[in-house]
Amino acid sequence: MPANESVPMTTPPITSVPATGAAPRLLDPGFALTLRPMRYPAFYDMYRAAIRNTWTVEEVDFSGDVTDLRQRMSPAERHLIERLVAFFATGDSIVSNNLVLNLYTHINAPEARMYLSRQLYEEALHVQFYLTLLDTYLPDARARQDAFAAVENIPSVAHKAAFCFKWMDTVRELKSLDTQAQRRQFLLNVICFATCIEGLFFFAAFAYVYFLRARGLLHGLAGGTNWVFRDESCHMAFAFEVIATVRHEQPELFDDALEADVRAMLADAIACEAQFAADVLSGGVAGLSLAQMREYLHYVADQRLRQLGYAPQYGATNPFAFMDLQDVQELTNFFERRVSSYQVGVSGELAFDAAF
């Protein structure tokens, strides 16, 4: 696997000020250090918002999950879970690797790198969550080993991983983004992770989890995934903000060829995910058919195209009513579950005459 090869450390020149007099741009090579005046306050705001949403794996209550798996779920549903967990087991690690190897290297603004550092921590947290989940679900050491090996052994998972590696490899050799062609190449990597990996693969995985949650199953998985989803939503928002910034600074990069590449890439990702869905749903799961999953993937892909400012391609509607559920506020009865909406960090000074 390409990701396992050792990575030559590249050392671009460390500069805080661009060599020429022109205003520095986000993809200009270097390691800018200056935070004031801040060029991209939106990234810094995203960093701060992310910190307020800190959660830990210890807060997730897995106590009912094992009983659900054993007593309340059919073999077909257990198969669904096994495949899903196999994907989650390695998915976030792949994203982490791309963060370090590519995004952190080339997105040249210290406030953006602050966000990426935070994102890196969150990816590690997600890995820890799914590791804990896996250890809880699979008491047998051999079964655990197999789950992590899924990325190599199970074709539907391996296929998705190969898709990710392909788009990582295209930018692996880039030491710095000196030419337009290199920047375009890098941009495709960012778009791939935002729209196809976090924006499609993960969104599909979340759909399976929410499907189960809407039926009251696997609260531990659902609760933790809810938090993971919240984080991933921010990661995507960050990536789209990067793309929008680059588009503003260098509109010439966004030509017809790029659009064609993006569409082809998305089609490829949908094919990968549909193949995975065929495997996941092979046992027959009432309420979640393969045809609906395809429709959902097309619907999500259209959303991503719109977010990139492109015309939608598939004309699909969302077939999953249960996805409505995650769009709206929760109101949890604490006898039932833990409330997941508290913030970390409160600001302000003591006062006795503030309006409330």
Partner 1 sequence: MQLQDSHIVATQATAQTFSLTPPHAPAGMRITKRNGTHEAVDLGKIVRAVTRAAQGLHAIEPLQVALKTIGGLYDGASTRELDELSIRTAAALTAEEPEYGQLAARLLAQVIEKEVRGQDIQSCSQAITCGARQGLINTRLAEFSAANARKLDDAIDLAADARFEYFGLRTLYDRYLLRHPETRRVLETPQYFFMRIACALGGGDMAETLQLYRALADLDYLPSSPTLFNAGTTHEQMSSCYLLDSPEDSLDGIYARYGDVARLSKFAGGIGLGYSRVRAQGSLIRGTNGKSNGIVPWLKTLDASVAAVNQGGRRKGACCVYLEPWHADIEDFLDLRDNTGDEARRTHNLNLANWIPDVFMQRVEQDAAWSLFDPAQVPQLVDLWGEAFTRAYEEAEARGLARRTLPARALYTRMLKTLAETGNGWFTFKDRSNATCNQTAAAGNVVHLSNLCTEILEVNTEAETAVCNLASINLARHLGEDGFDFDKLARTVNLAVRQLDRVIDLNYYPIPGTQRSNARWRPVGLGVMGLQDVFFRLRLPFDGAAAQALSTRISEEIYFHALGASCDLAAQSGPHPAFADTRAARGELQFDHWPEARPQDGARWDALRARIREHGLRNSLLVAIAPTATIASIAGCYECIEPQVSNLFKRETLSGDFLVINRYLVDELKQLGQWTLAMRDAIKRAEGSIQAIGEIPEPLRQVYRTVWELPQKALIELAAARGAYVDQSQSLNLFMATPNLGQMSSMYMYAWKRGLKTTYYLRSRPATRIAQTTISSAAPSQAVACSLENPEHCDACQ
Among 178, 216, 264, 278, binds partner 1 (CB under 8 A): 216
Count the neighbouring beta carbons within 10 Å of the beta carbon of residue 96. Answer: 18
Can residue 209 be called a binding residue for partner 1 (CB under 8 A)? Answer: no
Q: In angstroms, what is the minimal distance from the CB of 102 to partner 1?
A: 22
User: By CB under 8 A, what part of segment 267-286 binds partner 1?
Assistant: 281, 284-286
Residue 119 near partner 1 by CB under 8 A: no
Dihedrals phi, psi of 288, to nearest 5 degrees: -150, 90
Sign of CA dihedral 111, 115, 120, 124: positive
Q: How many angstroms separate the CA atoms of 240 and 308, rounded?
A: 8
Cβ 113 to partner 1 shortest distance, Å? 19
Of 144, 52, 36, 132, the closest CA to residue 92 belongs to 132
Per CB under 8 A, 343 contacts partner 1: yes
CA angle 64, 66, 71 (to 5 degrees): 95
Question: Least separation, in Å, of the C-beta of 40 and partner 1?
Answer: 16
* Per-residue binding letters, 7-46, with partner 1 (x by CB under 8 A): --------------------------------------x-
Asked if 301 contacts 194 with a C-beta cutoff of 8 angstroms, the reply is: no
The one segment of 27-35, 180-188, 242-250, 287-295 that binds partner 1 by CB under 8 A:
287-295
Q: Does 347 interact with partner 1 (rule: CB under 8 A)?
A: yes
Long-range contact pairs involving 292-299 (C-beta distance under 8 Å, separation at least 24): 292/319, 292/320, 293/204, 293/207, 294/270, 295/319, 296/204, 296/207, 296/320, 296/323, 297/200, 297/204, 297/270, 297/273, 298/270
Query: x/- site string to partner 1, residues 221 to 260, per CB under 8 A?
Result: -----x--xx--xx-xx-----------------------
Task: Pick one of 2, 41, 155, 287: the residue that binds partner 1 (CB under 8 A).
Answer: 287
CB of 84 to partner 1, least distance (A): 17
Minimum CB distance to partner 1 smaller for 22 or for 355: 355
Binders of partner 1 in range 148-207 (CB under 8 A) = 203
Q: How far is the CB of 229 from partner 1 (least distance, A)?
A: 5
- Name the active-site residue from 40, 130, 137, 296: 130
Of 86, 101, 217, 255, the one binding partner 1 (CB under 8 A) is 217
Segment near partner 1 (CB under 8 A); pick from 94-102, 142-150, 179-187, 301-309: 301-309
Tell me the C-alpha distance between 154 and 137, whole Å.
Answer: 19
Distance, in Å, from the CA atom of 89 to the CA atom of 77, rounded to the nearest integer, reads 18
Nearest approach in angstroms of CB 74 to partner 1 is 9
Scanning 32-40, 87-95, 257-265, 347-355 for contacts with partner 1 by CB under 8 A, the matching segment is: 347-355
Q: For residues 257 and 328, which CB has a smaller minimum distance to partner 1 in the complex?
A: 328
Collect all residues with Cβ–Cβ distance below 8 Å to 202 and sequence separation of at least 6: 91, 229, 232
* 130 in active site: yes
Residue 187: partners with Cβ closer than 8 Å, 6 or more residues away: 27, 243, 246, 253, 258
Please tell me the count of residues contacting partner 1 according to CB under 8 A: 83
According to CB under 8 A, which residues from 47 to 86 bind partner 1?
Answer: 49-50, 52-56, 58-59, 61, 63, 67
Residue partners of 166: CB distance under 8 A and separation at least 6: none
- Asked if 322 touches partner 1 (CB under 8 A), the answer is yes
Q: How many CB atoms sit inside 10 A of residue 249's CB?
A: 15
Report, as residue numbers or ranges, the catalytic residues.
Answer: 130
